Structure 1
Amino acid sequence: MKAIWNGAVLADSDDIVVVGGDQYFPEAALQRTHTSFSNHRSSSERGQAHYLSLFVNGEFNADAVWFYPEPAEEYPELKGRVAFWKGVQIVD
């Protein structure tokens, strides 16, 4: 599966974990050349989510990538994984 935004492949992997409809890619599959730091955080039953923003082909997409550095103990499969939203397409 691939995560694509603004014409760029952000991540590409066959090792996908699906939790609550969200598709999580291995962190190692993330193309870091397209990401930038974000201070944004949110909390859910999965833990405290941290975010990354995207900068691709001159366009910025704030907080479009999220991950759980320390997921809740009920979600150990999320450790070391990233997910996408805000217009990022997941294609097979």
Structure 2
Amino acid sequence: MKAVLAGTVIAEADESDLVRVEGNWYFPPAAVAPGVLVKSPTPYTCSWKGEAQYYSLQVGDELFVDGAWAYPDLPQSAAQRVGREFAGYIAFAPGVQVGP
């Protein structure tokens, strides 16, 4: 699977390494290209996944604000609900094409 933004592959991993949650593919952190993720101060808390860390995406000279997020301190109950651990995995916002 690949995540593509502005014609650039920003993440790539085997589908078996990804986790699908609520219609979003979550990529392992190591699958994301170096230098793409820029921490964002945008706050968000999910009722069952906890506090999110948002990221802007740096692709060339362009910065795509809040284009990705992760749950770094995922509650164990969330992993159990999904059936797999995905703490720190990165999901991408609409506008990022995710597919084979």
Same fold (TM > 0.5): yes
Aligned to 2:6: 6
Q: Please state if 1:49 is matched with 2:57.
A: no
- Structure 1 residue ranges (4+ consecutive) displaced by more than 4 angstroms after TM superposition: none
Aligned-residue Cα RMSD (Å) equals 1.3
Amino acid at match of 1:71: L
State TM-score, norm by structure 1: 0.90
5+ unaligned residues in a row in structure 1: which ranges? none
Kept in 2: contact 1:24–1:81 (CA 8 A): yes
Amino acid at match of 2:45: S
State TM-score, norm by structure 2: 0.83
Quote the sequence identity (%). 38
| Distance in 1 separating the partners of 2:88 and 2:37 | 16
Correspondences of 1:1-92 after superposition (within 5 Å): 1-14=1-14, 15-44=17-46, 45-76=48-79, 77-92=85-100
**How much does 1:27 deviate?**
0.7
5+ unaligned residues in a row in structure 2: which ranges? 80-84
